[in-house]
Structure 1
Amino acid sequence: MRIAIVGLGVIGASTARSLALAGAQVTVFERSLPAAGTTATSATTFAWINSHQKNPLAYHALNVAGIAEHEALAADGGDWFFQTGNLEWAHESGLDTLSDAVAELRVRGYPAEWITPERARTLVPDLRVPPGVRDIAWYPQEGHVLPAALLARLWGEARDLGAVLRCPEEVTGVTAHGNGARVALASGGDEDFDAVVLAAGRWTEPLAAASGVPVPMADPEAPGSATVGLLGYTAPVPARVGRVLTTPELNVRPEGGGRLVVQGLDLDVHADPANVPAPDSTYAAELCARLGDLVDGAEGARLESLRVGQRSMPADGRTVAGPGSGGHVYVIATHSGITLGPLLGRLAAEEIVSGTQSPLLAEFRPERFEGVNRESLAPLTPARFAGQQ
């Protein structure tokens, strides 16, 4: 089979790898450089691997399978996945919500337990736990990835298997026909393939619509909305933080080389892709001050970069994965792209090559949008508390 993939983020690279493993001839079209700095969704992400407060149950199960896919991929080696766990706590006002979430996860069989601040400090030696916090939720199965390293692993193996990258090459349209699908290119001309996979992230909607697959996406440019968030990338700090932290004031993960990624969800109301704050702005100063309060050794930390992440979110907030009518155009769109990327790529490849449908994807098909007026979809609620994003 000759298959085109539009987009070389984590999902596109994963799909390319899995299709190439299955023997397909794969061509990937990427409009800019892969992981292109601060504008690429795969490059600007908190990159937390989890199935944390992810509902309904089918979405939780999909993310649990996503974690397992990372584990299986990492078993072959590579320094991109760090399954070192996540620590979370809440202040008094949010303790009931956190307790309910932990109880639900435990009923589902998801590893979650309560530990003391003393135990937490054995896991993260430089952690500062606020005096009023007595119980901390510990999720040992969770972790984080280094997005560029993950992308390199997936695309490197796809390339080794013969996948070809056309970059920069913008796809302006995809049209399904009886025997396959046609890709229209901004550089001029059309090319035909047996199937096309749209892994275009926040640019999914117009390409999907042109191919007859309705996939309304939440506006990735809307300031302060559920699709945007501030992410700070620190200069190296002499602090021992090897795990994900999700706390009321600040979320933190390691980025390698002593650097940390920091996120204050309450500050996301100020996130605007058209007006990205400078790394020495008041927002940057606030993130650094919170980091200093949370971690010994981080006093005086500074940001090398402050970015506005733009999430790829279908308009109803749920993952999309599946073919349009006719089966020649396959669409993948999700805001859990880091957790789900390796899994969705494999499942999509299996469905395209064998025609066998995965039960894990049954509730996430694009056909749910057929005949739906996008104005009838409720606005997505932005994440403002630890564990929600």
Structure 2
Amino acid sequence: MRIAVVGLGVLGASAARALAHAGASVTVLERSGPLAGTTGTTFAWVNSHSKDPRSYHDLNVAGMEEHSVLARSGNGQPAWFHRTGNLEWAGDEAGAERLARSVARLRDRDYPVDWITPRAARELVPDLRVPEGVRDVAYYPTEGYVLPSLLLARLWGEARDAGAVLRCPAEVVGLTESRDGVRVELADGDEVRADAVVLAAGRWSESVSALAGHRIPMASPDVAGSATVGFLGWTTPVAARVDRVLTTPTLNVRPDGGGRLVVQGLDLDVDADPAKRPSPDGEHARTLLARLAGLVDGTEGARLESLRVGQRSLPADGHPVCGFLGESSRVYAMATHSGITLGPLLGRLAAQEVLGGEPSELLADFRPQRWEGVDPAELPALRPARFAGQQ
């Protein structure tokens, strides 16, 4: 089969890899460049926190395991997946109750989580500063983080090895289905003919799906202070021993290679505005760095090399969209907030479904047909993440 994949983020690269490995002739159409969307600006925490309903939780657990399987199969390649665990604690009584409920719910789902002491937490992260008064720390040993550029290099590199080709820049402006396939029109006047198309357009999924006469309702990625936007800071190299994810009341932290850390303060996201580029030396940057110095020894004097406003790919009801649009089985769409956790898994499942395999039960609750007859404007507004574990 000839398959066109629209978008070269983690979902598009994963689908291209799986399709090419299965023998399809794959052409990837990318408007601006790899990592240009959400994949390039993400906290990249691999987890299944606050993922309801149960089917969404189970999908993310399967996504976590897919990362491990993929990582074990890549001999001699740069380490992009670090399953080193996550540490979390609460800052006040309300937070402690919220965390206890979350841990209990996860344990009911057989999700690995343990209560450990602050001393045990510092043995795991020697430079960690746990505030006085914290007695219990939640430890999630199977969680981890991804270095997005290295993951994309792995997925897209193996797709190329199997024969996939990239056209970039290639902006898709038209999608026309017929009995013989799909005609993909490009902004430069050229076109691509394919037997099927996989849409992996991230936060542009609504406008791209509309080209084929369908709709994937997405939360706007441009609304300041909304659930779709948030600050992310990248530090200069620091002399601090941090090898895992930290989700704390004031700051979330993960390593980013080369001694750099990615930092995130969810309460600050109320000020995040995609229309305003934040300064790496401004007020929010200073706040993030002050919090980092209070959390991790050895980070005093660090600076931010970059402070960005991330824009999440978030379907209007908060849940993934995975499946064929319409009845022709010609146009397949993927869109999700959990792109890093789910990317390798969704790419593989999409390839199986597009190439004629049995529908995946893991995706049964996430088909685009759930939007038929639903007015997205009547849905409750998505709540922004403001506490650790919510994002």
| Contiguous gaps of at least 5 residues in structure 1 | none
Query: Does structure 2 conserve the Cα–Cα contact (< 8 Å) formed by 1:214 and 1:367?
Result: no
Distance 1:134 1:219 in 2: 40
How far does the alpha carbon of each residue in 1:281-323 deviate from its partner, in whole angstroms, 9 at most, with x for none? 0000000000000000011211000000000001111100000
Query: Does structure 1 conserve the Cα–Cα contact (< 8 Å) formed by 2:173 and 2:211?
Result: no
The equivalent residue for 2:179 is: 178
What's the Cα RMSD here? Answer: 0.8
The equivalent residue for 2:54 is: 57
The equivalent residue for 1:372 is: 374
How far does the alpha carbon of each residue in 1:68-126 deviate from its partner, in whole angstroms, 9 at most, with x for none? 10000000133100000000001222111110111111111110010000000000000
Distance 2:133 2:32 in 1: 48
The equivalent residue for 1:28 is: 28
Counterpart residue type for residue 341 of structure 1 = G
Query: Does structure 2 conserve the Cα–Cα contact (< 8 Å) formed by 1:213 and 1:366?
Result: no
Spell out the pairing of 1:231-250 with structure 2 (5 A cutoff): 231-250=232-251
How far does the alpha carbon of each residue in 1:322-345 deviate from its partner, in whole angstroms, 9 at most, with x for none? 001211000000010000000000
The equivalent residue for 1:337 is: 339
More deviation in 174-183 or 115-124? 174-183
Distance 1:95 1:172 in 2: 50
Distance 1:173 1:202 in 2: 18
Residue 8 of structure 2 aligns to a residue in which SS?
coil
Distance 1:296 1:115 in 2: 20
The equivalent residue for 2:162 is: 161
How far does the alpha carbon of each residue in 1:138-163 deviate from its partner, in whole angstroms, 9 at most, with x for none? 00000001000000000000000000
% identical aligned pairs: 67
Deviation at 1:213, TM superposition (A): 2.5
Counterpart residue type for residue 349 of structure 1 = A
Distance 2:99 2:155 in 1: 35
Question: Which TM-score applies when normalising by structure 2?
Answer: 0.97
Query: Does structure 2 conserve the Cα–Cα contact (< 8 Å) formed by 1:212 and 1:324?
Result: no
The equivalent residue for 2:360 is: 358
| Contiguous gaps of at least 5 residues in structure 2 | none
Question: Which TM-score applies when normalising by structure 1?
Answer: 0.98
Counterpart residue type for residue 170 of structure 2 = E
Deviation at 1:179, TM superposition (A): 2.6
Structure 1: which 4+ aligned runs deviate by more than 3 Å?
A: none
Distance 2:317 2:274 in 1: 21
Matched, 1:44 2:41: yes
The equivalent residue for 1:220 is: 221
Distance 1:146 1:21 in 2: 23
The equivalent residue for 2:268 is: 267
Distance 1:190 1:17 in 2: 22
Distance 2:136 2:174 in 1: 53
Counterpart residue type for residue 333 of structure 1 = A
Distance 2:177 2:264 in 1: 41
Distance 1:151 1:365 in 2: 25
Distance 2:313 2:230 in 1: 12
Spell out the pairing of 1:31-110 with structure 2 (5 A cutoff): 31-36=31-36, 40-77=37-74, 78=77, 79-91=79-91, 92-110=93-111
The equivalent residue for 1:385 is: 387
Distance 1:166 1:90 in 2: 48
